[in-house]
Chains A and B, each alone.
Chain A
Amino acid sequence: MWLPLVAYVMFGRQLGDLEDYILLPAVPAALILYAVAVWSWRESTVAIVGATLVFFWLILAVTAPYLPLVDPNKPVAPFVTPFTEKNGVLYWLGTDTRGRDMLSRTIWGGQRVLVWGITATVVAYIVGSMLGLIAGYLGGWWDQIVSFVANVLLSFPVMVLFILILNYLGPSGFNIVIAVTFSSAPQIMRIVRGLALDVKSRDYIFAAQTRGESPLRIMVVELLPNVRGPLIVDACLRLGYTTVAITTLTFLGLGLQPPDPDWGLMIKEASTTALVWKFSYMLLIPALSVSSLILGFNLMADGLREMSMRD
């Protein structure tokens, strides 16, 4: 489900005709995933509420090209308040300072945030987990080097690290992925390393060693599946943090650039206009969207943790 979405957003412009169809399989996939999530987490209301919030935005994100939405970047009629008609068109969420439809910008913005946020987290996880397994299982010099590098990265305040990297690489969605990896991977590495150290002394790892399995195989096949418990909860939380980071960065102008619809940008534009108090909806709508998404991730994490502790 993820691949079509990522492909669409990252390479959409180049794909030409394909652009319209590539997201189609993702739509039923997202709906099925939601149903599965609600069913398997049915014991925890918290997790279900969280999942609903997240999947709300997710389903909107994948169905965005197929919804009857106005082009988010086309100025139509500036400063229209929500639920008013103008020139025969009903604007559900109004328009912004440049006249672009807020509803469509919100939905498309959600897509951007989700894609970049989740991609960044996934990449950070892959890098962090591999490093953590190496440091935990192989130990010795590997552990010293990897831990040292991780400690250096962790000693930077997160925002400072982001700003440094994005300044150097230039602001774009792809570079945000790199920046998030740099800041999150050390923390993930620490978690995975701790879990690997614990699992390393179990008999089935000894059994694999006495069979002469290669260290790589032991790490990936024997160790990795058994450390995923705490990682799932951490992943949900981290998605929330990453969303905040991306929104903040675009607000600061370091992430996606205008006219890309993105909630951070919407907040920035709304807050810099002098008329913000009269037309407060322009600020509230993206702010509430961001908050609801992050709340969704946190609630999911809470619910999952609660369920794993109950057993």
Chain B
Amino acid sequence: MDQRLTTSGEPVPTARDVPVLECRNVCISYFTRSGEIPAVVDFNLKLMPGEAQGIVGESGCGKSTVALAIMQYLGTNGKIVSGQILFEGRDLTTMSDEELRQIRGSKIAMVYQEPMASLNPSMMIGEQLAEVPIFHEGITKVAALERARAILASVRVPDPDRIMNSYPHQISGGQQQRVVIAMALLSNPKLLLLDEPTTALDVTVEAGIVELIKEIAREFGTSMIYISHNLGLILATCDRITVMYSGEAVEVGSIKEVFEAMRHPYTRGLFASIPVPGADKNSHPLVAIPGQLPLPHQRPHGCYFGPRCSHFVGGRCDAAPIPMLPVKGSEQHGSRCIRIDEIDWEASVGKELGRVPTEPGDVVLKVDDLTKHYPIENSSIFFAGEKKTVKANEKLNFSAREAETVAIVGESGCGKSTFAKVLMGLETATDGSVVLGNLELGHVPVEQRSQATISGLQMVFQNPFDTLNPSHTVGSQIARVIRKFGGEKQEDKVQERVMQLLDTVKLPRDFAKRRPRQLSGGQKQRVGIARAFAGNPSVVIADEPVSALDVSVQAAVTELLMDIQRDHRTTLLFISHDLSVVRYLADRIIVMYLGQIMEQGTTDQVFAPPYHPYTEALLSAVPIADTRVKKRKVLLSGEIPSPSNPPKGCPFSTRCQYMMPGLCDVIPPPIVEPAPGHKILCHLPLETLMAMEPVIQVEQASGNLH
């Protein structure tokens, strides 16, 4: 629909050549105790009606600052130092507060990252939604509630009436975010700003929200600015893209132009550090961007990306601030690089290593029918009914061999963290066994384990900011592990080993004296890895080690983990929800849902048909930043059921598109084995499974493949 309607139902003529939003040479600075910090420099943007523009960058590049500046919501110490932000021709920076209040929420709306933080926890959803038209248009409450219900239906929320009368904490994360999007759309805004709206959500839920956003853009004709660090999401939702680095826009253009013919070294570096289908850890490793993001007051002269750029030419690239230059062949494609025509953009970024894949050894870890139930305390005073349990892990069966990387994939609530805790001894299994080497560990809590056992099984944690004790130096924390497990008793030998470990994780030796607060997220995670490997463990569990890191840092830390594992022949259990990273580095994959293993097999087996229906949906949901990839869309309805009340029969039966009533929701499914080592837990007959079409297909020069 091109034309939008006012509340009275008449079409509003939109001037198609007036951009909805135009930022001209915007410079934004924060004023703090230590002086002025220029956050965003020389930012230009032009958004036409009905267009969706993506802003991509890593943390610290200024993308959220730009969004807040557009809303004129920078806070007390942020200011737009120069430049103009024109909304439909009017300059937002010169408007009064009253005028801005008219515009915010009705003409410009924003959706934030955390849906729970955006909703008032003490008001019902219906009331909150009704507030918007009541304030901006002055209609009656009854009419407002009607509008609210209508908009909830258009964001595809199941059972809108129930949601209207619920409080935010009673609905799930995905539904909350849909409500927030509904609230943003209620007054038909001309511009919708989305600041990482799906980062806090699960992958399958994220896919649903992404679909929704695309439909809304089509249906309502709203212009959108979509801010994200995930290139795959931008590919799926936007028409144009702006890549930002350290406060500057370094490349702008249409999606096709930038994704297929990128013309800035930073953009190329970003793409080279993301695993795409076809990349394999042995033949084509991920290439991290060397160096670090410069602090705002330490930005170099000339090109900000210069110190990290492999095409840097002294004297030219650092002489003067680089302007945005147009790329030949397209008037809308621009890049902030003076060597656009000189660099060979077709050459591959990294080296093709052709590493020999490591041969896995004997079975090191064997898990048999592992079950872990948590009893829920009965909160009622009278002992009503049976005791409820949370079935966190239900009959897990798998084995891992030496030097192998086994990935455990699943969304939140699937039981992977519980499984890690049982392995580490922080919890004991309710039933079943875990055998490490020849020791049964499932029922042995960590306090009772021998030193040798503990040292053989270590863990890398998810959150780099909490993984190190802030009060101790880095060196002392690694040294502690060495003294306990490493077998070195003499102080100088211990220090020697600390230095060796710092070298292995590619950190400078003088970091040993620093405290964690002086390190960046990626550096802290490297120390965490050094600490885990300090005792020469035979099995390392990595619980989402890179999900909290920036994209280019992820590549470096992932490669590091691979290198160490190869050298020490350690078994790596890699827990993640990111299927692209998993495909890149895992030898075998286990897919978990609601405490049970839905599918397991080698990477090739899992990523190709036959699929378990859940795996099919997961593969379809993962955003892939490659224009050559064709994905078959499989959308899941509903939400993940609560682990304390799992469905009878197959746990996936409530959302499965192949669900057979009477069978799937009553009888637990059997294990089907289409190939040796490839196990699928499903009622579907083998023929149906084998006949499934692949979800991800990479277009090669010769046509479809994979």
Contacts and interface: CB of A to CB of B under 8 A. Distances in A.
A210 B458 contact: yes
B463 interface: yes
B461 A207 contact: yes
A203 B463 contact: yes
A206 interface: yes
B139 interface: no
B424 interface: yes
B446 A207 contact: no
Contact of B471 (A203, A210, A211, A225): A225
A204 B468 contact: yes
Given A202-B466, A204-B469, A212 B531 contact: no
Contact of A210 (B33, B426, B463, B466): B426
B447 interface: yes
Given A207-B531, A226-B469, A212 B461 contact: no
B378 interface: no
A203 B451 contact: no
A212 B426 CA distance: 10
Given A204-B469, A226-B469, A211 B463 contact: no
A207 B459 contact: yes
Contacts of A226: 469-471
Contacts of A204: 466-469
Nearest to B425: A210
A225 B468 CA distance: 13
Contacts of A143: none
A204 B484 CA distance: 16
A257 interface: no
Given A212-B446, A212-B447, A212-B451, A203 B425 contact: no
A211 B446 CA distance: 8
A310 B32 CA distance: 11
A222 interface: yes
Contacts of A144: none
Q: Size class of B's contact patch?
A: 20 to 34
A227 to B, nearest CB: 10
Interface string B423-452: 011100000000000000000001101010
A209 interface: yes
B467 A207 contact: yes
Interface in A168-217: 202-204, 206-212
Contacts of A207: 459, 461, 467, 528, 531
B424 A210 contact: yes
A211 B484 contact: yes
Contacts of B447: 212
B228 interface: no
Contacts of B454: 210-212
A203 to B, nearest CB: 4
Interface residues of A, number: 14
A226 B515 CA distance: 13
B393 interface: no
B481 interface: yes
Given A211-B481, A212-B447, A212-B449, A206 B463 contact: no
B462 interface: yes
Contacts of B458: 210
A308 to B, nearest CB: 14
A198 to B, nearest CB: 11
Interface string B2-44: 0000000000000000000000000000000100000000000
A226 B471 CA distance: 6
Interface in A95-125: none
Given A210-B426, A211-B454, A212-B447, A203 B484 contact: no
Contacts of B424: 210
Contacts of B426: 206, 209-210
A197 to B, nearest CB: 15
B446 A203 contact: no
A203 B481 contact: no
Contact of A203 (B462, B472, B480): B462
B459 A210 contact: yes
A204 B454 CA distance: 16
Contacts of A222: 469
A226 B424 CA distance: 25
Given A203-B462, A203-B463, A209 B446 contact: yes
Contacts of B459: 206-207, 210
Nearest to A224: B471
Given A212-B454, A222-B469, A226-B469, A203 B461 contact: yes
Nearest to B458: A210
A207 B470 CA distance: 13
B473 to A, nearest CB: 12
A202 B485 CA distance: 23
A204 B515 CA distance: 14
Nearest to A204: B469
Nearest to B471: A225
Nearest to B448: A212
Question: Of A207, A208, A209, which is in contact with the most chain B CB atoms at under 10 Å from its CB?
Answer: A207
Contacts of B531: 207
A229 to B, nearest CB: 11
A142 to B, nearest CB: 16
Contacts of B33: 310
A226 B458 CA distance: 24
B461 A206 contact: yes
Nearest to A208: B469
Contacts of B446: 209-210, 212
A204 B463 CA distance: 10
A206 B427 CA distance: 12
A220 to B, nearest CB: 12
Given A209-B426, A211-B454, A212-B449, A203 B466 contact: yes
A225 B528 CA distance: 20
Contacts of B480: 211
A165 B140 CA distance: 68
B51 to A, nearest CB: 42
Contacts of B463: 203
Nearest to A213: B484
Nearest to B535: A211
Contacts of A202: 466
A269 B462 CA distance: 66
Contacts of A206: 426, 459, 461
A151 B467 CA distance: 35
Interface string B518-544: 000000000010010000000000000
A46 to B, nearest CB: 17
Interface string B612-638: 000000000000000000000000000
Given A203-B462, A203-B463, A210-B446, 4 more contacts: A207-B459, A212-B447, A225-B469, A225-B471
16 contacts: A202-B466, A203-B461, A204-B466, A207-B461, A210-B424, A210-B446, A211-B454, A211-B480, A211-B481, A211-B485, A212-B446, A212-B451, A212-B454, A225-B469, A226-B469, A226-B470
Interface of B: 33, 424-426, 446-447, 449, 451, 454, 458-459, 461-463, 466-472, 480-481, 484-485, 528, 531
Interface of A: 202-204, 206-212, 222, 225-226, 310
The 9 closest A-B pairs by CB, nearest first: A225-B471, A203-B461, A203-B466, A202-B466, A204-B469, A212-B454, A203-B467, A210-B424, A226-B471
